[in-house]
Structures are given as structure tokens and as C-alpha cells.
Chains A and B, each alone.
Chain A
């Protein structure tokens, strides 16, 4: 009797989770699984061969470099923006905050076209720069520019809440003890931000790794020069090379999975620490 009750209790606990998995199965899990099934269709040998072509090696490396550079740039820029928005007071602060967060709301393709129309050879700045031999579009620099633009809000969004929550008394204490702004940042703000910085950087990295819409516009999709891994996947899929496309897709999926596990792990840890500090 008692046993039966316990069993029933167990089942009823599992029911919501089971339902969630059932709903997510065709939405999320099966499509992901099919990427791996198609990647492995020709056997491991074919998968290895598909992953070691010059094009794939370049695309993966290029994507990783761009993602790393984007993460570094936006860690600095995003942290600075968060600090300005959180710790200084000036008219138009709220509006500026909205504008800085816009890249999340604008479709990435629009970001791409807007960059082209500004920096491209027929664009506003581009027309002036072109005769000087400066042409950022359709080069790795253009890709980096687009990625910095598109992923900008992620760092800002991670750091600003931490800064907002951090009581100014700590900083004021530092100032009264004669610390400069930079010293205050280094010794008071930075230790509190460490977890957020890493999470934000990884988030930026992960989003840059998967960016497609803006990249396809500004890169010119040149293999061995500006073709990122997602662009490679798209090109191969469109040419009917489904296995080649899925091999790279599988690698990206695994990378993203690892990255987001790390992000979640870090977020959980910093959350715990924050809670401890709160007490």
C-alpha cells in the first residue's frame, strides 16, 4: 500500500518533465539528433574526411578566431558601456541604454545590409575610403565588425545587472580611502564582476560562432577568405552536399553544447556566491 503510494508519487513528479520532453522532442531534440544521424551516415571515415578538407578547416578556424576577437572586443566595450550606464548619471541615459540594446531586436540581415550601405564600396563612408585603398567589407575585418555589432548587447546585458546590484557604498568607501577610479575598478568592481565577465564573454563567443544573417551580407561568402562555419554549412546544404554540411553542423552543435554547459555552470556558481555574499 505504502509502496504503491510512493510509486504514484514518483510518477506524478515525473509527469510534467515527461510532458516537457514529449513537446520538445520534435521541436528541438529530434532535429538536433538528425544533424548527427546525417553527419554519421557515411560512417566515421567519411565524417573525418569531410571535416579535414581545406575549406572546412579554414571555416572552423576562421569562425573560432572571429568569435574570440569579438569576445575580447565586446568584453572591453560592453563592460565600459555597462559601467557608463550604471554608474554615471547624464540626460538621455535611458534612451542610450535602449539604443545600445537594439542589436538584439534588429534582424541580423538588416545589420548586415546597414553595414554594407555604410562601409561598402557604394556606401556613405565606403565611397570616401575606397579611393584610399581601405575597404573593410568582404574582408575578415568586415566580418568582425558585423559580429561586434550583433553580439554587443550580450556583454552589456550580463554586466549591467551585476553593477546595478552592487551597492555604491563599496565604491564610495574606496574613494574616501583615496583610491583612483581605475584602482576602484580593479580592486572593488572587478572581483565582483569576474564571473559575469567570463559568462558574458562566453555568451558573446557562442553567438558569434553561430552568427549567419549579418555575416552572409558583409563577407561576400568567399571560401578560404571570409567563409565562416555557418556560411559553409549553408553553401554546402544549398549545393546538395548534405553530409558535408551536417558534419560541420555537428561540430558546431558540440562546440555550442560545451560552451553553454560552461556558461550555465559558471552562472550557477556565481549565483551561489552572490547569494552567500548577500547573507
Chain B
């Protein structure tokens, strides 16, 4: 060591140079010369499967339009997670200006917690519903368990990957889809719905925190069937990352995704920008982007643009069960939580 002072100096100088270079690179965007190039921002919290379409499709399109109209650059500050998780974060006070939730149920929770005052989302186009997607069943290639409808999931030995209703909006949709599919069979009643839920939930092998997390689990080889958004399956297929088949149930629900503007968190200066972004979500340009990435548009005419959409014989909506307020009480709470879950416990 002591015989090589030159080597030691070179080593020291190299370390110092590397540290300085990393330091300079780190603070670069915050240097005074870069200040005037800092863009305006919109803070958005969204449910899990929205991430790719918002960050890669919708927002860049809005960015471009806003720049053309005003010459200002705008950047999206965003966070994505299970709809329930996002809602809890909003109640905890995260600085969101816009939230896109997977169910109106979560919007109602925001209202109850005082994050928004009144059902403000109802004043937006289509009562705040931005787009839709039906619930489908995803099975392994060749459908080895022969699952052709929700009833197929009740067979013994089928391992179902389901989302967790506590944190995931998709899970709530899925429960209503399962219940509804049974109830809507000709000549059946509420008991059929309960029996269906019991049969499926007996086979639930794993509960994931969000729609996206459930997909990741299924893709990594776990389970025989996954109940999820059609969009998620189409998107996943387009990336070619997993091999699976989509099973369209005879009857299934179309989930409707709700946009909520958190008025209290939108400053006076931001009102115009946030308003423009929210309006943009229902523009034809944005709706076309949604359709291209697998969501069904609220504008029925656009839905023929995506040939990957499957046919559903008997689609239904949450309004068929009297809206989320009623469905939450009768289906989620009374039937699923108070009866099915209790019966499952040994």
C-alpha cells in the first residue's frame, strides 16, 4: 500500500470525481438555469389497471393538446393502486386533485369521509362514468378445467385467483358479477346468488390487493382461473406476456369507472387546467384511446373500433340492482360478508 502512493491518489481522485459527478447529475433539474423549464402539474390518483392507458395514452394526448392551446407544458403527478387503497389514501389526505376510482362505491366513501361535499361526480358527463369494461374469466391455455361460465368456478378442485374486496374495487364488481350471473338465470332467485358466491369463494385460493396484483399472480403461474376486467385481459394479451384464454360468461356485469374531482384540493390557479383535463377524458380523442387499449367507451359508436371485444349475451349494470348504495347493502354486506364468508369459516 505505502509503496504505491500514486495509485492511492488516483483512487482517491477517482472516487471524489465519481461522487461529484453523481451529485451534479442528481441536482441538475433543480439548478437555477433549469427553473423556467419546470412544467405545471396535475395530481391524479387512479385505480390499478389505469396506469398504462393514462400515463402512456391519455395524458400524452392531453399534454399535446394543452401545449397547442396555451403553450404551457404540463406534467402528470400520479399514483396507482387498488381502488380501495387509493380511496383510503385520499381519506388520509394525499394531495390528489383528480381521482379515478373503479367503483362509485369508493366515491361514496369519499363523500362520507368529507373529502368531497355531496355527490359532485354526478355533475360530470355520464354521471362521472369515464369508461366501462365487462368482467370475464381468464383460464389456462386449452381450458383444462372446462370452465365456461361463473358456475364452472364452483367445481371442486378449481383454484380461483380473486381480488380482495377490502382494497380492490374490482373485487366488489366481481362479487356482484358472480351473484348477478346466478340471479339472472331464468327462474332463479336470491338463493341462487348466494349459492354461487359460496361455491366460488370456497375455491378462492388467493386474494390479491388489486386487479393488477391479481393479474401478476395469475401470470406467474398461480391458480386455474382469474376473474378480472376484460380490459386487463386484452391489455395483457397485447403485450404477449402471458398465455391464457378468455371465457365470456353468459351474464356478466360491466364495471363503470368513476371520476371524482377533489374540489378542495384544486387551487384557484389550477381550476382551469384540471377542468380541461377532466373534460378531455370524455372527448372523442380520449375515448378512442380507451377503446384502443381495451376499455369500452361510454360512446357506444366507438366500441366497434376494437375487434377484440367479446360478445356477452346478457350484459347487466349496477343500476339493475338499484345502484351501488343498495347493491353494497344487499349483495356485498348481507350476502357475501355476513353469510358467505361466515359459512366458509370452519
Contact of A122 among B52, B75, B93 (CB under 8 A): B93
B317-338 contacts to A (CB < 8 Å): none
Alpha-carbon distance A219/B29, docked complex (angstroms): 21
Asked if B216 and A138 make an inter-chain contact with CB atoms under 8 angstroms apart, the answer reads: no
Assuming A64-B26, A223-B79, A235-B80, is B15 touching A138 (CB within 8 A)?
A: no
Alpha-carbon distance A138/B86, docked complex (angstroms): 13
Q: Please, which residue of chain A has its CB at the minimum distance from the CB of B210?
A: A238
Asked if A222 and B93 make an inter-chain contact with CB atoms under 8 angstroms apart, the answer reads: no
Assuming A64-B22, A64-B26, A240-B216, is B78 touching A220 (CB within 8 A)?
A: no
Q: Please, which residue of chain A has its CB at the minimum distance from the CB of B93?
A: A121
Asked if A223 and B78 make an inter-chain contact with CB atoms under 8 angstroms apart, the answer reads: yes
Contact of B79 among A68, A122, A126, A221 (CB under 8 A): A221
Alpha-carbon distance A68/B25, docked complex (angstroms): 14
Residues of B within 8 A of A121 (CB): 92-93
Asked if B93 and A138 make an inter-chain contact with CB atoms under 8 angstroms apart, the answer reads: yes
Contact of A224 among B48, B75, B216 (CB under 8 A): B75
Asked if B93 and A61 make an inter-chain contact with CB atoms under 8 angstroms apart, the answer reads: no
**Does A116 interact with chain B (Cβ within 8 Å)?**
yes
Asked if A220 and B76 make an inter-chain contact with CB atoms under 8 angstroms apart, the answer reads: no
Alpha-carbon distance A137/B236, docked complex (angstroms): 35
* 1/0 contact string of B205-230 vs chain A (CB within 8 Å): 00000101101100100000000000
**Does A101 interact with chain B (Cβ within 8 Å)?**
no
Which label, helix, strand, loop or mixed, suits the secondary structure of the B interface? helix
**Does A95 interact with chain B (Cβ within 8 Å)?**
no
Asked if A135 and B95 make an inter-chain contact with CB atoms under 8 angstroms apart, the answer reads: yes
Asked if B93 and A137 make an inter-chain contact with CB atoms under 8 angstroms apart, the answer reads: yes
**Does B72 interact with chain A (Cβ within 8 Å)?**
no
**Does B273 interact with chain A (Cβ within 8 Å)?**
no
Contact of B77 among A130, A137, A224 (CB under 8 A): A224
Which label, helix, strand, loop or mixed, suits the secondary structure of the A interface? loop
Asked if B29 and A61 make an inter-chain contact with CB atoms under 8 angstroms apart, the answer reads: yes
**Does B241 interact with chain A (Cβ within 8 Å)?**
yes
Q: Please, which residue of chain A has its CB at the minimum distance from the CB of B28?
A: A61
Residues of B within 8 A of A65 (CB): 26-27
Instruction: Give the shortest distance, in Å, between B26 (CB) and chain A (any CB).
Output: 4
Alpha-carbon distance A221/B80, docked complex (angstroms): 8
Find the residue from B48, B78, B213 having the highest chain A CB count within 10 A.
B78
Alpha-carbon distance A24/B219, docked complex (angstroms): 29
Instruction: Give the shortest distance, in Å, between B276 (CB) and chain A (any CB).
Output: 20
Asked if B77 and A239 make an inter-chain contact with CB atoms under 8 angstroms apart, the answer reads: no
**Does A196 interact with chain B (Cβ within 8 Å)?**
no
**Does B94 interact with chain A (Cβ within 8 Å)?**
yes
Contact of A220 among B41, B94, B212 (CB under 8 A): B94
Assuming A65-B27, A239-B212, is B241 touching A220 (CB within 8 A)?
A: no
Asked if B77 and A238 make an inter-chain contact with CB atoms under 8 angstroms apart, the answer reads: no
A237-279 contacts to B (CB < 8 Å): 237-240, 262
**Does B306 interact with chain A (Cβ within 8 Å)?**
no
Asked if A240 and B212 make an inter-chain contact with CB atoms under 8 angstroms apart, the answer reads: yes
Contact of A238 among B29, B89, B91, B216 (CB under 8 A): B216
Q: Please, which residue of chain B has its CB at the minimum distance from the CB of A138?
A: B94
Asked if A61 and B26 make an inter-chain contact with CB atoms under 8 angstroms apart, the answer reads: yes
B1-34 contacts to A (CB < 8 Å): 15, 22-23, 25-29
Residues of B within 8 A of A64 (CB): 22-23, 26
Residues of A within 8 A of B78 (CB): 222-224
Residues of B within 8 A of A138 (CB): 93-95
* 1/0 contact string of A227-238 vs chain B (CB within 8 Å): 100000001011
Alpha-carbon distance A101/B80, docked complex (angstroms): 35
**Does A207 interact with chain B (Cβ within 8 Å)?**
no
Instruction: Give the shortest distance, in Å, between A73 (CB) and chain B (any CB).
Output: 17
**Does B51 interact with chain A (Cβ within 8 Å)?**
yes
Q: Please, which residue of chain B has its CB at the minimum distance from the CB of A67?
A: B26
* 1/0 contact string of A154-194 vs chain B (CB within 8 Å): 00000000000000000000000000000000000000000
Alpha-carbon distance A237/B27, docked complex (angstroms): 27
Alpha-carbon distance A221/B45, docked complex (angstroms): 10
Instruction: Give the shortest distance, in Å, between A182 (CB) and chain B (any CB).
Output: 28
Assuming A221-B81, A240-B219, is B212 touching A120 (CB within 8 A)?
A: no
Alpha-carbon distance A239/B219, docked complex (angstroms): 11
Alpha-carbon distance A233/B141, docked complex (angstroms): 30
**Does B234 interact with chain A (Cβ within 8 Å)?**
no
Closest 10 A-B residue pairs measured CB to CB?
A: A121-B93, A220-B94, A64-B26, A221-B79, A225-B77, A138-B94, A61-B26, A240-B216, A222-B79, A224-B77
Instruction: List B residues at the A interface (Cβ < 8 Å).
Output: 15, 22-23, 25-29, 41, 43, 48, 51-52, 75-81, 89, 91-95, 210, 212-213, 215-216, 219, 236, 241
CB pairs A–B below 8 angstroms (21 shown): A61-B26, A61-B27, A61-B29, A65-B26, A116-B92, A121-B93, A122-B93, A130-B93, A138-B93, A138-B95, A139-B95, A220-B79, A222-B78, A222-B79, A223-B77, A227-B79, A239-B52, A239-B80, A239-B212, A240-B219, A240-B236
